[in-house]
């Protein structure tokens, strides 16, 4: 019983330690991911999500979120900005806008 | 299950990244987008080698850009992450590569960012204990004859079977924790497992203490690896926000081409509380992170901007620190110089200089304590999140301690003005020291002048501060003055007193009074002319004459006693400190704590106050009453009563009695003596009678007097005023304890000021109001004048009674001024008769014989003291008929010691000329009378012949 508890603690600590190391790498490379987002990403990767796809999604979501915020603060500027973005944007943006 | 997890994770991810509300259109759109991307997006699979290669590339890039630490960290993390053993429930290897790939894809310009490891992940493992109980048992098992269990035991078998295990248990208990450790080790026998257990323990410990250690570490801004980059990542980072002014400007600069090599990331930012602590450290004389101390330059400080404040520009911060730095330098200079002076022997600089230095050190020590309190107050306030009563602000600090800092500035200016000019080497290592007396006079005069100046300016705190220093610095002088006045002993080990002894003068010479003890003379050269001037503290000038006289009189009296064959003793004189209203303890003018209350009650400011010198009797009565009430024991009271009854200038009743005595005595004197000189000297006769009385008291209570002097000495030692320097005395016991014998009862300056503010406002106003020089003069007059009068009376009495001053004066007047008409007339007649008869008279022997025969009738003249001689060395025969011949005759009256000190040779020379002149006049008169007589007799004979 006691051994099982120690084993569980060890596993938890092990994962925790790996997560910490991962977070340090993420910070070092300036990914902008916080601990929670990183753990979600790890979860998704574990469940077979393609990391490149995930990276593309995160980037796109960030960009979209930023433009939304900008449009909220200054609608005139962002209207033209978002239009321009849409016009010259890639396929991912088009699909998100068109969605 | 897996799909559900993915969906949930996607929703959470969208929510985290976009901050969109779940259920909103945008949110749904984002989620849909993510799903479609995952489902229909075309992305390649992750190549493990490619990922590792890319990481190596980034590491290489870091190194190329001189960011080695980042490269090292990256290598270490990636290696650790990938090589971590895969156990059940751990992250699968492929997932590890995937997540690394994800990080790679999301990475944005890592070279530009700065990295601080959030907490130490890798730590050295603690060494395993080298020995434990199991090792001991393993190496030396409990085997052998002693440990064998005997099988044939009957009753004690059970106990003995467990005995060896009991021993083991006992040893384990004794060794405590180590046995527990052994239990753990027993359980985890596998070395790999053991390592892992330790690691888990470490992680648990780290978790527990993480926040604490992190908080402490974050505050250690003086560490070389300290970096706080939180401000760089702050979203609120804006040049328009004052609290981030420093980093904003730094960033702005870094973008300017003029500051091409300016790295804003190298700047350290500290809190204002830290800056305050740095300042307090510097003011306490310690080097700190923001101030560099130069040990070669007397420990002077300079501002070193190792860190900045977020809300201040570099220039503003520096200017604030420089203000403190200037004051810190004043303090450092004062501290260094005072320490040096105190460390040396008192002979080097003199006791006064040391007393002054000790006083400054005391003030600095108090200030250091104050700073320490201040620091703790700031820290305590900082730990409170609410109800702060201290603003954490450098400007507030400056405002708070400005008064004390200004006091140190004034002291530094004092050093600069009065000491540095004449002694420039005082601040350097090579000490070319001026004479201690010069230093002493400079310090005392300087302090006095500054006190008068600051009082006139109305600068109360500076006035009181300097006053305290004057009091403390004046201690050695007060001791010397008191000792000199009360016992005549010149105890001046450092040669700084303004009275000096001339060693070549003989004790019983006629120069004794004028030459033996003198005011110090200083030779100064100016315009090639050597000028002699008296060296003394200028403000003591009105008192110096009386001080000198008192000590000289004491010495004369002692010598007189020793000449009479009595044992020389300081206690032979009636110096009793209890006679005097004010003792030496009244002299410090700024110590309001002890005894001065008594004095201040009688300050001449109120209508009821009496001037001491004008109302001696009343004041003395008051004093005696006070003494009886306050100090005296019964026996002392009785002895004092004797003095009151007997002593002349005490009590009005006794005065009346003595007046009668005086009259009787003077009458007796008149009867005894046919001379009228004494009649004119009633006052002296008074003194004689009084002296008789007092002499009786002296004879009767010689022991009491001895006790009195001893008490005076004890009283001097028990001075409570000059305490407050015990810290300094403790610091420099070898030098200072001699200087201030029994300083005790330390009371802090700041405490004292507080007390003064609350308790003694009235007295303070008085001190501030009355001109200091007047107050000083009054206080010292009141101390000195009664002693001066008393000693003067003793001396006068001794001269009159023991040395018969009046008799000798009478003899001189009778002899030299021919006031003994009959006798001198006879002398002249005999002399002139011999001249006329051409008898031998111009000869030393003849003249001596002639004079002594005549003087035999003089009761008041000691014939052995008279000498007459002819000083004619010319070989030719003199013309003895002319009156000029008398100039060759010398008539000498040998005054005995010490009267020859009072009527000196130069006066006697004049007297000799007078006697010669009188002889000439008498001779001329004699001749004229003879001529006129002969003419008359000739005319008469002619008349008779004619008839």
pLDDT band with cut points at 50, 70 and 90 for residue B401: very high
Q: Is A18–B19 a contact, with Cβ atoms under 8 angstroms apart?
A: no
The per-residue pLDDT for B727 is 53
Asked if pLDDT for residue B464 goes beyond 60, the answer is: yes
Residues of A in contact with B10 (CB under 8 A): 44
Only one residue has tokens 């002291």, namely B411
Q: How far apart are CA B806 and CA B247, in angstroms?
A: 97
Residue B149's pLDDT band (cuts 50, 70, 90): low
Predicted ipTM of the assembly? 0.80
Backbone φ, ψ for residue B531 (5° rounding): -105, 140
From the list B597, B600, B599, B594, the residue with the least C-alpha distance to B582 is B599
Q: Is B7 on the interface with A (CB under 8 A)?
A: no
Per-residue pLDDT at B533 exceeds 50: yes
Q: How far is B40 from chain A (nearest CA, A)?
A: 10
Residues 6+ apart with CB under 8 A from A49: B6, B38
DSSP-derived 3-state class of residue B872: coil
Assess contact for B582 and B785: CB atoms under 8 A: no
Residues of B in contact with A25 (CB under 8 A): 74, 77-78, 81, 100, 103
Cα–Cα distances (Å) from B631 to B225, B581, B588, B784, in that order, read: 69, 13, 21, 22
Report the Cα B391 to chain-centroid distance in Å: 33
Taking the domains of chain A in order of start, what are their residue ranges?
1-47, 49-99
What tokens does B918 get? 């009188």
pLDDT score recorded for residue B690: 40
Nearest by Cα to B776 from B549, B478, B499: B478
Q: In terms of pLDDT, which residue wins out, B107 or B767?
A: B107
Inter-chain CB proximity A17 and B203 less than 8 Å: yes
Residue B416 predicted with pLDDT over 60: yes
Spatial separation of the C-alpha atoms in residues A56 and B101, rounded to whole Å: 12
The 10 Å CB-count burial string (b at 16+, else e) for B804-821 is bbbbbbbbbebbbebebe
CA B678, distance to chain mean position in Å, is 56
φ/ψ of residue B301, rounded to 5: -105, 155
- CA pair distance B167, B161, nearest whole angstrom: 11
Q: Which residues of B touch A62 (CB under 8 A)?
A: 17
Cβ distance A25 to B100 less than 8 Å, yes or no, reads yes
What DSSP character marks residue B386? S
**Mean local confidence (pLDDT), B802-824:** 79
First to last CA, chain A: 54
pLDDT one-digit tens code per residue, B24-35: 888 888 888 888
The structure tokens 């006083």 sit at B359
Among A53-57, B490-494, B644-648, B778-782, where is mean pLDDT lowest?
B644-648
Residue contact B43–A53, C-beta within 8 A:
yes
Task: Say if CB B434 and CB B419 are below 8 A apart.
Answer: no
Tokens at residue B304, please? 């070193």
DSSP E strands, B837-920: 866-870, 889-893
Nearest to A95 by CA among A69, A50, A68, A64: A64
Q: How far apart are CA B160 and CA B151, in angstroms?
A: 10
Phi, psi dihedrals of residue B647, rounded to the nearest 5° = -75, 145
Mean pLDDT to the nearest integer, B904-931: 86
Among B103, B184, B208, B230, most A C-beta atoms within 10 A, so best to mutate, is B103
Residue B764's pLDDT is 56
DSSP designation for B427: G
Per cent of chain B over pLDDT 90 is 5
| Nearest C-alpha neighbor of B474 from the set B760, B787, B785, B719 | B719
CA distance B766 to B772: 10
Does any CB of chain A come closer than 8 Å to the CB of residue B192?
A: no
Residues pairing with B270 in the sheet: B309
More confident residue, B227 or B719: B227
- Helix/strand/coil for B47: coil
Q: Which range, of A84-88, B200-204, B803-807, averages the lowest pLDDT?
A: A84-88
Q: What is the DSSP letter of B741?
A: T
For residue B619, what pLDDT band results from cuts at 50, 70 and 90? very low
Instruction: Report the pLDDT averaged over residues B722-748.
Output: 45
Query: Does residue B756 have a pLDDT over 50?
Result: no
| Structure token digits, residue B663 | 């009259």
Mean pLDDT along residues B367-375: 91
CA of A43: which chain B residue's CA is closest? B9
State the Cα–Cα distance between residues B123 and B738, nearest whole angstrom: 59
pTM for the full predicted model: 0.55
Query: Which residues from A are below 8 Å from B17, CB to CB?
Result: 37, 58, 61-62, 65
* C-beta separation of B443 from B473 below 8 A: yes
Please state the φ and ψ torsions of residue B309, each to the nearest 5 degrees.
Answer: -100, 145
Give pLDDT tens digits for B273-330: 889 989 999 999 888 888 888 877 767 888 888 888 878 888 889 999 999 999 999 9
- With vertex at residue A66, the alpha carbon angle to CA A62 and CA A69, rounded to the nearest 5 degrees, is 140
Q: Would you tell me how many other CB atoms lie within 10 Å of the CB of residue B909?
A: 11
The nearest CA of chain A is from the CA of B388 a distance in Å of 35
Cβ–Cβ of B9/A37 closer than 8 Å?
no
* pLDDT score for B136: 67
**How many A/B residue pairs have CB atoms within 8 Å?**
186
C-alpha dist (Å) from residue B113 to A36, B61, B76: 21, 13, 19
- The residues facing B522 across adjacent strands are B533
């Amino acid at each position: 019983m006691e051994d099982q508890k120690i084993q569980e603690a060890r596993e938890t600590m092990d994962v925790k330690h790996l997560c910490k190391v991962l977070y340090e790498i993420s910070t070092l490379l300036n990914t902008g991911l916080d601990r929670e987002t990183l753990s979600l990403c790890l979860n998704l990767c574990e469940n077979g999500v393609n990391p490149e796809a995930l990276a593309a999604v995160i980037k796109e979501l960030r960009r979209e979120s930023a433009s939304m915020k900008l449009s909220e603060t200054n609608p005139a500027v962002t209207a033209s900005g978002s239009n321009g973005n849409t016009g010259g944007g890639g396929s991912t943006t088009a699909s998100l806008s068109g969605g | 299950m897996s799909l559900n997890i993915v969906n949930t994770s996607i929703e959470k991810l969208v929510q985290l990244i976009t901050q969109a509300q779940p259920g909103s259109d945008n949110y749904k759109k984002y989620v849909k987008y993510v799903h479609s991307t995952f489902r229909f997006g075309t992305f390649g699979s992750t190549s493990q080698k490619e990922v590792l290669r890319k990481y190596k590339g980034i590491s290489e890039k870091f190194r190329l850009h001189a960011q080695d630490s980042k490269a090292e960290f990256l290598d270490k993390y990636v290696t650790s992450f990938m090589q971590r053993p895969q156990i059940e429930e751990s992250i699968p290897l492929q997932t590890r590569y995937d997540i690394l790939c994800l990080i790679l894809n999301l990475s944005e310009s890592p070279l530009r960012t700065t990295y601080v490891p959030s907490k130490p992940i890798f730590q050295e493992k603690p060494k395993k204990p080298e020995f434990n109980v199991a090792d001991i048992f393993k190496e030396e098992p409990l085997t052998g004859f002693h440990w064998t269990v005997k099988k044939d035991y009957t009753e004690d078998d059970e106990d003995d079977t467990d005995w060896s295990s009991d021993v083991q248990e006992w040893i384990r208990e004794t060794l405590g924790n180590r046995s527990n450790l052994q239990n753990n080790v027993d359980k985890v026998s596998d070395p790999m497992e053991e390592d892992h257990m330790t690691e888990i323990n470490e992680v648990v410990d780290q978790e527990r203490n993480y926040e604490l250690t992190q908080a402490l570490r974050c505050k250690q801004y003086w560490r070389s690896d300290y970096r706080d980059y939180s401000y760089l990542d702050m979203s609120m980072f804006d040049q328009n926000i004052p609290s981030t002014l420093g980093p904003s400007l730094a960033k702005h600069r870094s973008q300017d081409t003029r500051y091409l090599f300016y790295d804003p990331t190298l700047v350290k930012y500290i809190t204002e509380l830290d800056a305050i602590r740095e300042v307090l450290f510097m003011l306490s004389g310690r080097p700190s992170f923001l101030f560099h101390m130069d040990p070669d330059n007397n420990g002077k400080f300079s501002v070193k901007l190792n860190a900045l404040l977020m809300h201040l520009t570099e220039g503003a911060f520096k200017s604030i620190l420089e203000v403190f730095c200037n004051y810190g330098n004043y303090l450092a200079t004062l501290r260094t110089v005072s320490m040096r002076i105190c460390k040396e022997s008192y002979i080097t600089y003199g006791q006064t200089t040391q007393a002054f230095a000790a006083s400054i050190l005391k003030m600095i020590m108090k200030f250091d304590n104050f700073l320490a309190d201040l620091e703790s107050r700031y820290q305590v306030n900082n730990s409170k999140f609410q109800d702060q009563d201290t603003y954490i602000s450098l400007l507030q600090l400056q405002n708070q301690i400005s008064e004390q800092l200004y006091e140190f500035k004034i002291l530094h200016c004092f050093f600069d003005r009065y000491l540095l000019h004449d002694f420039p080497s005082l601040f350097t290592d090579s000490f070319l020291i001026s004479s201690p007396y010069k230093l002493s006079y400079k310090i005392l005069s300087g302090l006095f002048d500054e006190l008068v100046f600051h009082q006139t300016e109305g600068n109360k705190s500076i006035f009181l501060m300097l006053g305290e220093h004057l009091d403390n610095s004046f201690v050695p002088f007060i001791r010397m003055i008191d000792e000199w006045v009360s016992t005549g002993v010149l105890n001046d080990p450092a040669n700084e007193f303004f009275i000096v002894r001339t060693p070549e003068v003989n004790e019983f010479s006629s120069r004794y009074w004028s030459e033996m003890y003198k005011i110090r003379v200083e030779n100064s050269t100016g315009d090639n002319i050597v000028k002699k001037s008296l060296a003394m503290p200028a403000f003591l000038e009105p008192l110096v004459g009386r001080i000198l006289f008192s000590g000289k009189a004491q010495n004369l009296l002692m010598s007189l006693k020793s000449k009479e064959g009595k044992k020389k003793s300081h206690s032979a004189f009636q110096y009793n400190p209890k006679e005097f209203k004010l003792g030496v303890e009244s002299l410090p003018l700024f110590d309001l704590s002890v005894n001065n209350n008594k004095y201040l009650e009688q300050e001449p400011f109120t209508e009821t106050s009496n001037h001491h010198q004008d109302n001696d009797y009343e004041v003395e009565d008051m004093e005696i009453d006070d003494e009886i009430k306050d100090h005296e024991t019964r026996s002392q009271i009785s002895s004092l009563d004797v003095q009151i009854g007997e002593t002349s200038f005490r009590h009005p009743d006794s005065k009346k009695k003595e007046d009668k005595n005086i009259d009787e005595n003077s009458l007796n004197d008149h009867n005894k003596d046919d001379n009228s000189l004494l009649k004119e000297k009633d006052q002296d006769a008074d003194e004689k009678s009084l002296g008789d009385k007092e002499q009786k008291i002296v004879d009767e209570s010689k022991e009491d007097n001895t006790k009195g002097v001893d008490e005076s000495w004890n009283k001097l030692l028990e001075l409570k005023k000059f305490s407050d320097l015990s810290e300094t005395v403790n610091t420099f016991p070898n030098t200072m304890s001699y200087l201030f014998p029994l300083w005790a009862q330390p009371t802090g300056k700041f405490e004292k000021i507080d007390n003064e503010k609350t308790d003694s406002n009235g007295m303070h106003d008085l001190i501030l109001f009355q001109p200091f020089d007047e107050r000083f003069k009054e206080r010292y007059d009141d101390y000195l004048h009664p002693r001066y009068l008393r000693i003067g009376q003793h001396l006068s009495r001794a001269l009159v009674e023991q040395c018969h001053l009046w008799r000798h004066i009478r003899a001189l007047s009778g002899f030299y001024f021919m006031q003994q008409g009959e006798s001198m007339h006879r002398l002249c007649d005999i002399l002139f008769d011999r001249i006329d008869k051409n008898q031998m008279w111009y000869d030393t022997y003849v003249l001596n014989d002639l004079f002594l025969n005549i003087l035999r009738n003089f009761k008041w003249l000691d014939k052995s003291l008279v000498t007459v001689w002819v000083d004619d060395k010319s070989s030719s025969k003199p013309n003895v008929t002319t009156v000029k011949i008398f100039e060759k005759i010398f008539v000498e009256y040998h005054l005995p010691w010490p009267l020859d000190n009072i009527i000196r040779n130069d006066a006697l020379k004049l007297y000799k000329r007078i006697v010669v002149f009188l002889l000439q006049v008498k001779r001329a008169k004699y001749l004229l009378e003879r001529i006129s007589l002969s003419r008359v007799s000739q005319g008469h004979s002619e008349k008779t012949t004619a008839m």
